[in-house]
Amino acid sequence: MTETKKTLCNRDCPDVCGIVATIEDGRITRIRGDKDHPITRGFLCYRTSLFLSTQYSPQRLTSPLLRHNGEFHPIAWDEALDLAAQRLTAIRRESGPAAIFHYRSGGSLGLVKHLSDYFFEKFGPVTTKRGDICAGAGDAAQGLDFGERESNDLFDLLNSKNILLWGKNVFTSSPHTAPVLMDARAKGARLVLVDPVYHKTATLCERFIQPRPGSDFALAMAVARILFEQNWIDPQAPSYCDHFDRFRSLAMRHTVREWCVQADVDEESALDLARRLGPGKPTAILVGWGMGRRVNGAGIVRALDALGAISGNIGISGGGVSFYFKRRGAFDTSFIRGKEAAPRTVCEPLFGSEVLQLANPPIRAVWVTAGNPVVMLPESETTAQALRSREFVVVVDSFLTDTAKLAHLVLPTTTLLEADDLLGSYGHHWIGVARPVVSPPEGVKSDLEIVQELARRVGLADAMAGSAREWKQRFIAPKLAPHGITLETLEAGAVRNPIPKNVLFEDRRFPTASGKVNLIADEPPISADDPEFPLFMMSLSTEKSQSSHWATPQQGPATVTVHPDAAGGLPDGSLCRLESRIGSMTVRVRYDAQQRRDVAILPKGGHYSDGRCANALLRARTTDLGEGAALYDERVRLARL
């Protein structure tokens, strides 16, 4: 028997693609993009296209694993959950719930995954995380500037005359934005890429500007100064912008030439950007998420917010400064209080050091949901040491990841094709449901089933009771019911979130304390030069992996991509050591003459156990606001083996 079923991709990606699965005799034989989904438009990314090799991988876990004497052994679910309940309740009784740390990350973006937070809040509340490795600085910046973390409708780009892709690689990080940009270009929009790294998105653009890594603030100030000098400012801007005069003074602190020298770009490039924002508007700025992953990340995003505001590109169709779409905005998660309820928190980018240092009580147990912190957080070895030294570590995952290998107990969970969940997106406004296209293998439970079984053992069965469908209805009802949207509506197909307007701030009123845009008024910090380590390490997303999950197995050393002049005489294709202040790894050199001479590009998410993890070289530091991770300020060098 052959049938087709639809679901949504729940992985950490802004596109949240519609998937059509073909099932033959209970086995998925094909997946493809949903032609009826307005964003997916019938195609999937490379990573998801190959997901069936992951779905049916022989390495997939189908039984709980207990580590004993350094080796994992399969055990029954009842034994695993009895053990987890006993250990957690004993630690809570002896040291209090703050001795337990529940870490949930973005391995799945489904709303039902949040119920693990709810369980641990009811069980404790326990220690939880704060900050955000991906978007902490950018979220904080736009919340401070606009009072809201949202974007104009994605398809409003079709009304733009100019689109500035500032640090944004759409082909890798949001491939379903690329067709929208192509449609906008066909309607006459002119595209510019600003990025220290050359990548495929440059082929969409008529101009490519390649500033020094981390100097985007200086480039933005050069553009701002030109806007002021040429009187390309919106005449109404002083009425809806706070600190307008202070921002102008900041921009005037250096000449255009001096700002451009800091950014290592020519003055004509700054003039071109100013012209597009001023007389060339409406102009949209699409801000790459990596832009915030620097010590001055929030300052950079705030500078771009200010460019959009003073030039009059905020509150108009075809304009806007887009960093994030509020993916949970249509849903009610208010019953999960999170940090508000927690007795204390651990800063996500500083996971390893804070877990090691916390006392009164120390962290004795760690439960990991939807995450692989050893690979995805800075200072991999510190994170690994923090987990190795805990009394009880539980990891819920489908595979024996680098983090799961350090656990005492590993609990196998469902994949994206078995998920029963509710999803919004941080790259567009469409919302929908994920439904299982096949049942999970025998021996695998969903995250909801796991916490419900655990709840039954610790006296919280009533608090966690309910099917996935019933929980989805609870998430949906308060905000969407007034708009006539029910779970049945979403089950019939993806729906645009009715809450955000197509164009934000059309009335030029902002949910800030003053009701105005809060312009940046001070220059943010920058990372110091390190002559011994001349290259900026850029560990970037790749079309072949979704964070630490790779579409195909990794083979051999990681590849470091550098300009030929930055290789120090090392031949193209040769092996060498890539060294930072805290570690080194063997890599293979790849030449690319289109890159800057001060960058070394590595794939994001390489496995730690394979010696391919870039985060093993990266010191744990936070951004200027939002406690994000300063991932792109580590300096490295190449050395011969």
Q: How confident is the model at residue 518 (pLDDT cuts 50, 70, 90)?
A: very high
List the CATH number of the domain containing 361. 3.40.50.740
List the CATH number of the domain containing 262. 3.40.228.10
Tell me: do 571 and 616 sit in the same domain. Answer: yes
3-state secondary structure of 132: strand
- Residue 259 pLDDT: 98
Tell me: do 164 and 243 sit in the same domain. Answer: yes
Q: Which two tokens stand for residue 124?
A: 């404790």
Please give the single-letter amino acid code of residue 110: G
Question: Is the per-residue pLDDT at 553 higher than 90?
Answer: no
Question: Is the per-residue pLDDT at 12 higher than 90?
Answer: yes
Residue 621 to residue 36: CA distance in whole angstroms: 43
Residue 79 within any structural domain of the chain: yes
Mean pLDDT over 334-352 rounds to 97
DSSP state of 127: B
Tell me: do 144 and 200 sit in the same domain. Answer: yes
Q: Which two tokens stand for residue 543?
A: 């079309």
Peptide bond into 282 cis (omega under 30): yes
Residue 450 to residue 454: CA distance in whole angstroms: 6
Question: Is the per-residue pLDDT at 526 higher than 90?
Answer: no
| Closest listed residue to residue 446, CA positions, set 369, 333, 375 | 369
Residue 342 within any structural domain of the chain: no
Q: How confident is the model at residue 609 (pLDDT cuts 50, 70, 90)?
A: very high
Q: What digits encode the pLDDT tens for the residues 266-302? A: 999 999 999 999 999 999 999 999 989 999 999 999 9
Beta strands 65-68; 409-412: pairing state: antiparallel
Question: Is the per-residue pLDDT at 165 higher than 90?
Answer: yes
Lowest mean pLDDT among 131-135, 308-312, 386-390, 551-555: 551-555
Residue 318 to residue 301: CA distance in whole angstroms: 19
**Residues near 185 by Cβ (< 8 Å), separated by ≥ 6?**
191, 204
Strand order in the sheet with 207-209: 207-209, 190-194, 162-166, 283-287, 321-322
Q: Which two tokens stand for residue 618?
A: 């990266």
Tell me: do 113 and 143 sit in the same domain. Answer: no
Tell me: do 40 and 150 sit in the same domain. Answer: no
Residue 430 to residue 38: CA distance in whole angstroms: 8
Q: How confident is the model at residue 406 (pLDDT cuts 50, 70, 90)?
A: very high
Mean confidence (pLDDT) of the chain:
97
Task: Judge contact between 263 and 526, C-beta under 8 A.
Answer: no
What is the value of pTM for the model shown? Answer: 0.97
| Closest listed residue to residue 587, CA positions, set 632, 547, 636, 529 | 636
**Residues near 203 by Cβ (< 8 Å), separated by ≥ 6?**
none
Residue 302 to residue 370: CA distance in whole angstroms: 30
| Tokens 């969407």 found at | 480
Helices (H), 395-457: 447-457
* Cα 340 to Cα 98, 101, 105, 334, 337, distances in angstroms: 14, 15, 18, 11, 6
Question: Is the per-residue pLDDT at 528 higher than 90?
Answer: no
Residue 492 within any structural domain of the chain: yes
3-state secondary structure of 128: strand
Other Cβ atoms within 10 Å of 189 Cβ, number: 21
Residue 105 within any structural domain of the chain: yes
Mean pLDDT over 368-379 rounds to 98
List the CATH number of the domain containing 561. 2.40.40.20
Q: How confident is the model at residue 21 (pLDDT cuts 50, 70, 90)?
A: very high
List the CATH number of the domain containing 22. 3.30.200.210
> What is the chain's length?
641
Mean pLDDT over 392-417 rounds to 98
Question: Is the per-residue pLDDT at 78 higher than 90?
Answer: yes
Residue 501 within any structural domain of the chain: no
Tell me: do 87 and 235 sit in the same domain. Answer: no
Q: How confident is the model at residue 443 (pLDDT cuts 50, 70, 90)?
A: very high
Residue 3 to residue 118: CA distance in whole angstroms: 36
Task: Judge contact between 624 and 137, C-beta under 8 A.
Answer: yes
Q: Which helix (H) or strand (E) holds 299?
A: helix 297-310
Task: Judge contact between 125 and 342, C-beta under 8 A.
Answer: yes
- Residue 486 pLDDT: 97
Residue 513 within any structural domain of the chain: no
Residue 171 to residue 173: CA distance in whole angstroms: 6
Tell me: do 230 and 314 sit in the same domain. Answer: yes
3-state secondary structure of 3: strand
Task: Judge contact between 184 and 363, C-beta under 8 A.
Answer: no
* Cα 497 to Cα 331, 429, 430, 505, distances in angstroms: 10, 5, 6, 17
Tell me: do 384 and 373 sit in the same domain. Answer: yes
- Residue 239 pLDDT: 98
Tell me: do 284 and 315 sit in the same domain. Answer: yes
Mean pLDDT over 313-342 rounds to 97
Q: How confident is the model at residue 529 (pLDDT cuts 50, 70, 90)?
A: confident
* Cα 166 to Cα 97, 158, 303, distances in angstroms: 44, 18, 12
- Residue 149 pLDDT: 94
Residue 339 within any structural domain of the chain: no
- Residue 455 pLDDT: 98
Tell me: do 182 and 291 sit in the same domain. Answer: yes
Cβ neighbourhood burial of 335 (10 Å; 0-12, 13-18, 19+): exposed
Tell me: do 272 and 381 sit in the same domain. Answer: no
Domain boundary among 323, 356, 388: 323
DSSP state of 404: G
Tell me: do 129 and 143 sit in the same domain. Answer: no
DSSP state of 91: H
Task: Judge contact between 446 and 440, C-beta under 8 A.
Answer: yes
Task: Judge contact between 4 and 20, C-beta under 8 A.
Answer: yes
The radius of gyration of the chain's CA atoms, rounded to the nearest angstrom, is 24
Q: How confident is the model at residue 138 (pLDDT cuts 50, 70, 90)?
A: very high
| Closest listed residue to residue 306, CA positions, set 191, 222, 213, 230 | 222
Number of structural domains (the chain) is 4
Task: Judge contact between 575 and 557, C-beta under 8 A.
Answer: yes
Three-point CA angle 408, 412, 416, nearest 5°: 140
Domain boundary among 13, 32, 55: 55
Residue 87 within any structural domain of the chain: yes
Question: Is the per-residue pLDDT at 545 higher than 90?
Answer: no
Q: What percent of the chain has pLDDT over 90?
A: 97
Question: Is the per-residue pLDDT at 549 higher than 90?
Answer: no
Domain residues for the domain of 558 are 535-639
Mean pLDDT over 540-558 rounds to 89
| Tokens 């312009």 found at | 519
